[in-house]
Amino acid sequence: MLTGTSTRTIAGYLVTLLEYPRWLIEREVDFTHCHLHGRYDGDDEVCVHCGFGRACRWLSRNRSEPNLETPLPDLVDALQTAVEYLRREHRETATHPPQCDCDTCRWLREAAGFLRTHRNRT
């Protein structure tokens, strides 16, 4: 699924892996009526109670693509949060067959596999 020279390092792999949830969340969340234009603010009551709150918070933290100098724990945290978000918001994938080939299922398997194998290495 992932190719390119930047995927040769763990940080490069994570940077590439985080592209899918960023694209998906940007596509799914409608900021048309957001008074902050999609910039999450935890102190803003509207943000706290907004239906897009979790997605907006993740996107605000990860809107710009991380680079290879981004600390590895930050990349792993962003990946973990994205996995949790996609599992929660795309519950229909739970009814997909175990080897479903849709983009979200493939991404979740790859991301979860990385997190399982690198849990104690960061």
Q: What is the mean pLDDT of residues 15-40?
A: 88
Q: Give the pLDDT of residue 39.
A: 87
Domains identified in the chain, total number: 1
Residue 86 maps to a domain? yes
Residue 122 maps to a domain? no
Determine which of 8-12, 18-22, 24-28, 90-94 has the lowest per-residue pLDDT on average.
90-94
Residue 83 maps to a domain? yes
Residue 28 maps to a domain? yes
Residue 43 maps to a domain? yes
- Side-chain half-sphere of 110: how many Cα atoms within 13 Å? 17
User: d(Cα 63, Cα 25) in Å, to the nearest integer?
Assistant: 10
How much is the CA Rg of the chain, to the nearest whole Å? 15
The whole-model pTM stands at: 0.76
Task: Summarize pLDDT for 49-102 with one digit per residue, the tens.
Answer: 888 887 888 888 887 777 778 888 889 989 998 998 888 877 776 677 888 888
Res. 25 pLDDT band, cuts 50 70 90: confident
CB of 49 closer than 8 Å to CB of 35? no
Q: Which domain holds residue 12?
A: 5-117
Residues 6 or more apart in contact with residue 96 via CB below 8 angstroms: 102, 105
Residue 30 maps to a domain? yes
User: d(Cα 66, Cα 11) in Å, to the nearest integer?
Assistant: 9
Q: Which residue intervals of the chain are DSSP H helices? A: 10-17, 19-28, 45-49, 53-62, 72-89, 103-117
User: d(Cα 56, Cα 46) in Å, to the nearest integer?
Assistant: 12
Return the higher-pLDDT residue of 119 and 52.
52
Q: Give the pLDDT of residue 4.
A: 45
Residue 95 maps to a domain? yes
Residue 90 maps to a domain? yes
Overall residue count recorded for the chain in this entry: 122
Res. 120 pLDDT band, cuts 50 70 90: low
